[in-house]
Amino acid sequence: MGDMGAGTQMLVLFGVLLVIRVPVAFALGLSALYAMWVMGFGLDLVGDLIASGIAKFSLLAVPFFILAGILMGTAGMADRMIRFFRVAVGGLPGGMGVVGVVVALFWGAVSGSGPASVAAIGPMIVRGMADDGYPRPFAAALVCTGAALSIVIPPSIGLVIYGVIAEISIGSLFIAAILPGLLMGAMMLLALPFVARDRAARKSSALHAMAPMPYADQTRGRQLWLSFRDAGWGLLTPVVILGGIYLGVFTPTEAAVVAVVYAIFVGTAIYRTLTPRLLFDALTDAARSSAVVMMVVTFASLFGWVVTVDDLVGTYSEGLLSVSDAPWVILLVMAVILLIAGMFMDAITIMFISLPIFLPVVRELQWDPIWFGVFLMITLAIGLFTPPVGINLFVAANITGLSLERIAAAAVPFLLTSALGLMAVALWPEVTQYLLIWMR
C-alpha cells in the first residue's frame, strides 16, 4: 500500500476488515487509527475525537426516539395506529406495503432522525407485512427507505445543520422539503404494486391477516371510526410533538424526550399495559440499540476526521468537478460523490466535509441554495440505507434479527425509486418552491 495516500489506504483496510467480519464500528475505528499512524498525525487527538463523537448533541434525539418507539410498541400505541392505517389504506394494491409507506411518511413528521424512525415503526410494519405475505427482508427494506425520509420531511436535524453551514433560513428549508418528501413517498407507493406482484400475495386475506383485527364484522365506515377511536392516542403523537415544536413549547431534540414521557403516560395511565418490568426491558433494549448506532457514529467520527485531514473528498471531488462546464454534469457528479460518501459515512460528517467544496460551486452557478439543500438531504437519506455503512440498515437488522446484506439487497427496488425521486427534484426545482410561494 506504499504509494497510496493514508486516506486511500484507510478505505482499503476498512474494506478488508469488513470482509473478515470485524463489526462495522470497530472496522471504522481500526482503519482510522491505522491511517493516523501512517500520517504521523492525530493519534493524540483520538481521545478527544471519541468523546466529542459520542456526545453529539444533535444525536441526543436518537436514544429517546428509539425508546419512545419501543415503548409505543410495548404499550400497543403504534399497533393501533398501524391498524388504523391498515383499515384506511390497506386495501390498496400493495396492501400492508402501502400501510408501511404511509406510516413512514406520517412518522417522518414526528422524527428528525432516520434510524430512530426505523426503531419506532419498524417492528410492527415488518410483522404486518410478513403476515401479508411479504418476505421479511423486503419489509425491513421498505421500512429503511420510508424511515430515511424522516431527514427530508420536517422536522429534520440534517436540514438544521445544512441551514447553519450554508447560512440560509432553516424555516424556509423545512417548508421547501415537504413536497419533495411526499413526492419520494409517492414514488414508493407507485412502485409497490409492481414490486409486490412477485413478492407478496397482492390481495392477501387482507385485513384479517394481521391479527388481532377487531371490528372485522362491522361496515367499512364503522371499522374506520372504531379503529380511529382505538388509535386516537397514538395518532395524537405527531400532533403533540409537531404542535409542541411549532407552538414553541420545546425543541426538536426535546420533542424526543416528550415522546417518551407521552408513551409512558399513555401506557400506564390510559391503556394500563406498561408494567415496571416492561418499562425496565424497554429501557435496557433501547439503551443497547442506541449504543450500537452510537458506536458506529463514534468511530465514524475518527474515520471522517481522517477523510477531512487527508483531504480525501476534496482531492477526488475537485478532480471530478473539472470534468465539464455543463451544470447538469456537475450536479450529477456531486450526486455521485454524495451517494458514494453516503455508503461510508453519516449524514452530518458528509455535510461538514463536502459543503465547503460544494457551496462555492452552488453560488458560482447561481443555484437556489434552498433547493440544493433539499437535493442534498435526499441523497443523504439514500445513504442511510446503502451498505456497508447505512445506519437505518443497522437498526433494521438489529430489530429484526435479519442480516444487513439481505435487507440491503431487498432495498434495491427502493434505491431505484429514490434515484428517480432524486432526478425529479433535480429536473423540477420548482417542487421546492411552491409551498414557499403559497405561504408568502
Partner 1 sequence: MLKHLDRFEAYVCAAIFLAMTALGFANVAVRYLTSYSFAATQELLLAGFLLLTVFGGAAAARHGEHLAVTFFADLLPARAGWVVRALSGALSVLLLALAAWYCWGLVSHQYRSGVTSSGLQIPAWYYSAGLPLGFLLIALRMAQRTLSDLRGDGPEGTPHG
Partner 2 sequence: ETLRLTHNTSDATTWHKGSERFADLLEEATEGEMEVRVFPNAELAGGDQMKQSEMVGRGAIDFVVTSAINVTPLVPEMAVFSLPYLYADYAEVDATTDGAPGERMAEIMADKGIVVLAWGENGFREVTNSVRPITSPEDLKGLKMRVAGPMYIDVMNALGANPQQMQWTETFSALQQGVVDGQENPIGAVIVPQRVYEVQKYITPWHYSYDPIFLGVSQAKWDGWDEETRAKVQAAATEAMAFQKEETRRATDEGLARLREEGMEVYEPTPEEIQAFRDATKDPFDLWAGKVGPEIVTLFQDTIDGAGN
Binding site for partner 1 (CB under 8 A): 17-26, 29-30, 33, 43-44, 46-48, 50-51, 54-55, 57, 60, 63-64, 67, 249-250, 254, 257-258, 260-261, 280, 283-284, 286-292, 294-296, 298-299, 387-388, 394, 397-398, 401-405
Minimum separation from the CB atom of position 24 to Na ion (A): 10
Residues 146-165 that bind partner 2 (CB under 8 A): 155, 160-161, 163-165
- Among 107, 67, 49, smallest CA distance to 305 is for 49
Residues near 83 by beta carbon (within 8 Å), at least 6 away in sequence: 210, 213, 227, 230, 231
Choice between 89 and 404, CB closer to partner 1? 404
Task: Identify whether the C-beta of residue 55 lies closer than 8 Å to the C-beta of residue 325.
Answer: no
* Residue 268 DSSP one-character state: I
Minimum separation from the CB atom of position 329 to partner 2 (A): 25
* Residue 58 DSSP one-character state: G
User: H helices within 132-169, ranges in order?
Assistant: 136-148, 157-166
| Rounded Cα–Cα distance for residues 372 and 425 (Å) | 10
Task: Identify whether the C-beta of residue 376 lies closer than 8 Å to the C-beta of residue 175.
Answer: no
Contact string (CB under 8 A) for partner 2, positions 303-342, x = contact: --x--xx---------------------------------
Cell numbers linked to 255: 420533542
Minimum separation from the CB atom of position 135 to Na ion (A): 22
Judged by CB under 8 A, does residue 294 bind partner 2? Answer: no
Choice between 133 and 238, CB closer to partner 1? 238
Residues 228-267 that bind partner 2 (CB under 8 A): 245-254
Q: Which does 383 bind (CB under 5 to 8 A by kind): partner 1, Na ion, partner 2, none?
A: Na ion
Among positions 3, 20, 57, 198, the unique one binding partner 2 when judged by CB under 8 A: 57
**Interface stretch with Na ion, choices 152-160, 300-308, 367-375, 408-416 (CB under 5 A):** 152-160
| Rounded Cα–Cα distance for residues 81 and 75 (Å) | 12
Minimum separation from the CB atom of position 260 to partner 2 (A): 18
Task: Identify whether the C-beta of residue 145 lies closer than 8 Å to the C-beta of residue 113.
Answer: no
Q: Which does 169 bind (CB under 5 to 8 A by kind): partner 1, Na ion, partner 2, none?
A: partner 2
Minimum separation from the CB atom of position 279 to Na ion (A): 27
Cell numbers linked to 359: 457551496
Cell numbers linked to 37: 499512524
Residues 317-346 that bind Na ion (CB under 5 A): 342-343
Judged by CB under 8 A, does residue 52 bind partner 2? Answer: yes
Long-range CB contacts for residues 420-426, cutoff 8 Å, separation at least 24: 420/187, 421/180, 421/183, 421/184, 421/187, 421/378, 422/335, 422/375, 422/378, 422/379, 422/382, 424/183, 424/187, 425/180, 425/183, 425/371, 425/374, 425/375, 425/378, 426/328, 426/331, 426/335, 426/375
Minimum separation from the CB atom of position 257 to partner 2 (A): 13
> CA-based Rg of the chain, rounded to a whole angstrom?
22
Choice between 207 and 350, CB closer to Na ion? 350
Where does this chain bind partner 2 (CB under 8 A)? 41, 44-45, 48-49, 51-53, 56-58, 155, 160-161, 163-165, 167-171, 245-254, 301, 305, 308-309, 352, 356
Where does this chain bind Na ion (CB under 5 A)? 108, 112, 150, 153, 156, 342-343, 383, 386, 389-390
